[in-house]
Amino acid sequence: MSDPAEQFLAAGERLQIEARIAEAEKRTSGEIVVMVVPSSYHYPLASMIGSSLLAVLFGIAVALVAGQESMWFFLEIFGLSFIVLHELIKRVNTLKRLFVKASDMKEEVEEAAINSFYHRNINLTVDHTGILIYISLFERSVRVIADQGINAKVDQNVWQEIVDTIVSGIKSKGHVAAIATAVDRCAEILAAHFPLKPENRNELDNSIIFGKGR
């Protein structure tokens, strides 16, 4: 089965964005990284809650239609339907999302984005000027994580503009242009505080990262 994160961007679209990153970094000593993950977490509790609830309802419905009042009959139907529904919800994101709280998704995306920032060594640039644009597809969420060198000079509220640009682009199926625009905006912000240095070198690969949240 193809990775949803890799399906999100066709090969030509990836090259287009990567070229935009390379061009953007010609204006600044900062580093811009784009990462796309299918999901920031697998939410096992959602599959348990959803399958339990639906299996109970299904078991009751079948018992009523069959005119069965036996608890053993209900438990048999419940057990079989629970197994099927659990596997279904676990694999079908549209169903799983129904049983995940928005606050839980927000928390998991935030944690996964921060973990990815450090795991991918984006915090190890010389002047601490790395930015991670993290896109999590299941949660339909975007986070921008900037290193301490940037945060010392740029207000955190600025990043929400970039998040909104990408989210809006994904909703309107214009995500490629939206990500490219977000990269340009990051470069604009960086260039104002961290202009290109004569000795500047590309510290982080410009390739889009396709990975796992956690």
CA 151 to each of CA 114, 131, 136, 166: distance values in angstroms, whole numbers, following the listed order: 14, 10, 23, 21
Q: Give average pLDDT by consecutive 10-residue segment, the chain, 214 residues.
A: 81 95 93 96 95 96 93 95 96 94 96 95 92 96 94 88 95 95 94 86 91 68
Q: Burial level of 139, CB count in 10 A (0-12/13-18/19+)?
A: buried
pLDDT of residue 2: 64
**Residue 144 has what pLDDT?**
96
Whether residue 17 contacts residue 208, with contact meaning beta carbons closer than 8 Å, is answered with: yes
Distance CA 56, CA 116 (A): 39
**The dihedral sign for the CA sequence 133, 160, 107, 83:** negative
Structural domains present in the chain: 4-41+101-210 (3.10.310.50), 44-99 (no CATH)
pTM greater than the 0.85 cutoff: yes
Residue at 34: amino acid letter? V
